[in-house]
Amino acid sequence: MLSAARSIRRCTQCRRTRGLARYHGAGRRARTYAAPRARRALLVDGVSGKRPKLRLVRTQSELEVLFASMDRRSAVLAALAPAMGAAHSPVQVQKTLFLIDKEISKLIGGPFFDFQPYDYGPFDKAVYDVLEELTRAGLVEVEAGPGLRWRRYRLTAGGQREGSEILESLDRRASDYIKKISEFVRSLSFEDLVSAIYKAYPDMKVNSIFKG
């Protein structure tokens, strides 16, 4: 369970007996956790159309909490947010989300994607599906044209606001990792990034056409 979250809201409409409390996240996958005995818990709940508020929740022995974790859309926004509007190449988006899934999924309710070894390492088409969804929602801007070798993705002003809010609501360990891995991924060339992924995760090299 996330240990420190800023965006929190309690649902007051579905209390249960025996100390059970339900928390709702609009459109997000829910997971059940056993809360620690004799402690107060901070739980994340995304509420559609409203900015969540901070509230402490008293926990009891054997208390079960329906925990609203991030979904794919939130994961992509959080992954792009540290760039502060800078553009990402397709390989940078794919590898950033792959590393998030591999390294900190337990901290944020993942994994969110099903990365498989492909031509240039870990790949999941669902990443592009989410980017298209965010583009239609006005949260991601796509750069494309004759002078570009491949598409580039950046957050719009609205996407940056939402992505930053999601990022800062996470466990500090998770948000710090995402910020660091974003900087790392964006600092490398295509060849160096793919090579670094292969070195750390050799199983992702099996179907590669990249010889670097």
In the prediction, which pLDDT does 32 show? 35
Tell me which residue has tokens 């208390």: 63
Q: Which residue range forms the structural domain that includes residue 54?
A: 1-69
In the prediction, which pLDDT does 212 show? 65
61 and 162 both lie in a single domain: no
91 and 54 both lie in a single domain: no
In the prediction, which pLDDT does 183 show? 96
Cα separation, 52 vs 79, whole angstroms: 20
183 and 120 both lie in a single domain: yes
In the prediction, which pLDDT does 70 show? 79
pLDDT averaged per 10 residues in sequence order, the chain, 212 residues: 36 34 36 34 33 36 38 96 96 97 93 95 97 97 79 96 94 95 95 94 92 70
∠ CA 13-17-21, rounded to 5°: 50
Going by C-alpha positions, the residue among 74, 44, 46, 42 that lies closest to residue 56 is 42
Task: Look at residues 19, 38, 69 and tell me which one is the last residue of a structural domain.
Answer: 69
Instruction: Kindly report the number of other CB atoms within 10 A of residue 106's CB atom.
Output: 12
In the prediction, which pLDDT does 88 show? 96
77 and 28 both lie in a single domain: no
In the prediction, which pLDDT does 8 show? 30
* Cβ 108 vs Cβ 69: under 8 Å: yes
In the prediction, which pLDDT does 141 show? 96
In the prediction, which pLDDT does 80 show? 98
54 and 81 both lie in a single domain: no
81 and 54 both lie in a single domain: no
In the prediction, which pLDDT does 149 show? 75
65 and 78 both lie in a single domain: no
What SS3 class is residue 19?
A: coil
* Cβ 65 vs Cβ 21: under 8 Å: yes
Task: Look at residues 23, 41, 69 and tell me which one is the last residue of a structural domain.
Answer: 69
Q: How many domains does the chain have?
A: 2
In the prediction, which pLDDT does 69 show? 55
pTM higher than 0.95 for the full model? Answer: no
